[in-house]
Amino acid sequence: MSEAHWRPSADRSTLQARAQLLAELRAFFAERGVLEVETPILCAAANPDPAVEPLHLDADLTGTGTRRWYLQTSPEFAMKRLLAAGSGPIYQVCKVLRADERGRRHHPEFTMLEWYRPGFSLEDLMDEVAALMRRLVHRPELPMERLRYRELFVQRLGVDPWTATVVELQALAHARGIADARRLDLDTDGWLDLLMSHILESDLGRDGLTFVYDYPASQAALAQVLPGPPSVARRFELYWQGMELANGFDELLDAPEQRRRFADDDAERAAGKQPPLPTDEHLLAALDSGLPACAGVALGLDRLLMCALDAEHIDAVLAFPAQRA
Amino acid sequence: MASYKTNEFKGGLKIMLDGDPYTIVENEFVKPGKGQAFNRVKVRNLKTGRVVEKTFKSGDSVEAADVHETDLQYLYNDGEMWHFMDTETFEQMGADAAAVGEAAKWLKEQAMCKVTLYNGAPLSVEPPNFVILTITETDPGVRGDTATGGTKPATLETGAVVNVPLFLEEGETIRVDTRSGEYLSRAKED
């Protein structure tokens, strides 16, 4: 280990920018009457989404014996329980952790801003995200555009994500020069993810904030699905300067549907030989009792800082990345 | 057989792809907002030296390549193979022309070389960075001409041809940088 590893990897002006960002977002939400909350980092259950792997530890936190605790990959489930209990609009700034995510734009432990707005439509929430972004980066005129997922693929790649076959998407990936696309074994969503992250993403948000929205129903995660046809998942992703910054949802309210999606995720985890995770029965009970109609969004503050400060690597905006922790 | 998961990928890791050993040059983790993550990787084929891009689904495993570097002493060439020895175990092994490649023209008996072994056999040979070799053939020296900076080709005892200053004669020994193929200086006679 290098001698200099006791030192932070972010410089002092970056630490100041981070502190100012936190102060300004708290002011923003205070003005709008959104309540700041805190929920546990260590959770008895975990989100079974196969694309996200939680870290865990074994400890006796309740005096009833050692058991497994999962470090939150997002505060979503606990915040939805608060909403179901009548909290009204809430936000949280917290550390979330995801195993195996490390790269220029990924660090296993990162800072998330997540908020929920009862009574907001997905469009209302996109507007609020844009207002917050303009405030945080001090650019009141920063333009925003909305682009349907389908339009994005049709306009830029000439393919309809709702009808394209695996064979067509693979041929497209190959034609677009994605290295060894012929060897990869992916399902439709996997190919769409590949095209999104390798071809489309770098052009999104070049001239301002780009909200991509209305995703294929198979990529719904925890969003409401409109039956269509074609059916669409009511969610959005915010891109700025070619970087994905936020994920927003018209939140799923239907407890039986939530149970089905958990079961689907569990089955996919099992098929992929990923470890099984305990289901969050508290969340399901909260949905059973009634979650108010709401829209919610999670925004990565480290990446926002990267954009605002023109940082090439996430380590430049962290005091101590894992290698120095 | 040992294998690596994509989250272990980093520069220098040796992996097997399509039956050939590769070393990872660059690894980038990419992930859309929700969904499948990928590793975009640049790898160098250790047999051909070619660098190519590869894309992996994050979480996939790749077979590890049994590749490591070791310092071996060059002994002799039997006309077909170049023979090397481990100076600690005295174990000897032969490298063919494909493995020795460009290094062949710098190899003088007893030189210590960096040899990359793949499944225990030499895959590539790196000569010492600096070698001292005797000039076996060159035009007659131009006496006194040390200032004009002119050069002439000179053939060395190992067969390499380098450009040397005009004043050097056959039979003189010189120091050469094998990475650039450039003459550095006259070697001191010991």
ipTM of the complex: 0.85
Task: Identify the structural domains of chain B with CATH numbers, from first to last.
Answer: 3-63 (2.30.30.30), 67-126 (2.40.50.140), 130-186 (2.40.50.140)
Mean pLDDT of chain B: 90
Return d(Cα B123, Cα B106) in angstroms, integer: 17
Please state the three-class secondary structure of A2-20 as a single string. CHHHHCCCCCHHHHHHHHH
Task: Give me the pLDDT at residue B49, please.
Answer: 85
**pLDDT given for residue B115 in this prediction:** 94
Does position B98 have pLDDT exceeding 70, yes or no? yes
Residues in chain B with CB shorter than 8 Å from the CB of A219 are: 34-35
Interval A97-130: pLDDT, tens: 999 899 999 999 999 999 999 999 999 999 999 9
| pLDDT for the residue numbered B144 | 65
Residue B78 CB neighbour total at 10 angstroms: 9
This prediction has a pTM of: 0.83
What's residue B150's pLDDT?
Answer: 83
Candidate from B29, B32, B33 with C-beta closest to A101: B29
pLDDT of A4 reads 78
pLDDT(B146) > 70 = no
Predicted confidence (pLDDT) per residue in A254-312, tens digit: 999 999 999 999 999 999 889 999 999 999 999 999 999 999 999 999 999 999 999 99
Residue A180's pLDDT is: 84
What pLDDT sits at residue B71?
A: 94
Strand A243-250 and strand A294-300: the pairing is antiparallel
Listed in sequence order, the residues at least 6 apart from A181 whose beta carbon sits closer than 8 Å to its beta carbon are: A170, A173, A174, A194, B55
Kindly state the average pLDDT of the residues B28-48. Answer: 90
pLDDT of residue B160: 94
Binned at pLDDT 50, 70 and 90, residue B33 comes out as: confident
pLDDT at A3: 60
Q: How far apart are the first and last CA of chain A?
A: 12
Residue A146 has pLDDT above 60, yes or no: yes
Interface of B with A (CB under 8 A): 7, 28-38, 40, 52-55, 57-59
- Whether the per-residue pLDDT at B166 is higher than 80: the answer is yes
Rounded Cα–Cα distance for residues A130 and A127 (Å): 5
Distance from CA of A237 to the nearest CA of B (A): 7
Q: Are B135 and B155 in contact (CB under 8 A)?
A: yes
- Residues A122 and A135: their CA atoms lie apart, in Å, by 20
Q: Do B34 and A179 touch (CB under 8 A)?
A: no
Q: Is residue A216's pLDDT more than 90?
A: yes
**pLDDT tens digit string along B111-138?**
999 999 998 889 999 999 999 999 999 9
Q: What would the mean pLDDT of A136-160 be, rounded to a whole number? A: 96
Question: How many other CB atoms are found less than 10 A from the CB of residue B139?
Answer: 12
3-state SS class at A114: strand
Q: Residue A62 corresponds to which amino acid? A: T
Residues of B in contact with A186 (CB under 8 A): 36, 57
Res. A2: pLDDT tops 60: no
Fold of the A3-143+256-324 domain: BirA Bifunctional Protein; domain 2 (3.30.930)
The pLDDT, as a whole number, for residue B147 is 63
More confident of the two residues B47 and B107: B107
Residue A179: per-residue pLDDT = 85
CA–CA separation, B115 vs B70, rounded Å? 5
Select from A240, A238, A234, A279 the least CA-distant residue to A260: A279
Q: Could you tell me the pLDDT band of residue B141, with boundaries at 50, 70 and 90? A: confident
- Interface of A to B at Cβ within 8 Å reads 49, 51, 100-106, 178-181, 184-186, 189-190, 192-194, 196-198, 201, 219, 221, 237, 244, 247, 272
Give the containing element (helix H, strand E) for A83. Answer: helix A76-84
How far does the CA of residue B28 sit from the closest CA of chain A (Å)? 6
Instruction: List, as one string, the DSSP characters of B88-157.
Output: TT--EEEE-HHHHGGGGGG--TT-EEEEEEETTEEEEEE--SEEEEEEEEEPPP-TT--SS--EEEEEET
Locate the domains of chain A by residue range. Answer: 3-143+256-324
- Across the beta sheet with B14-17, the strand order is B14-17, B20-30, B38-45, B51-57
Q: What is the pLDDT of residue B164?
A: 93
Cα angle: A176, vertex A181, A184; to 5 degrees:
155
Closest CB from B35, B52, B54 relative to A193: B35
- Res A1 pLDDT > 60: no
Average pLDDT, chain A: 95
Q: How far is A104 from chain B (nearest CA, A)?
A: 7
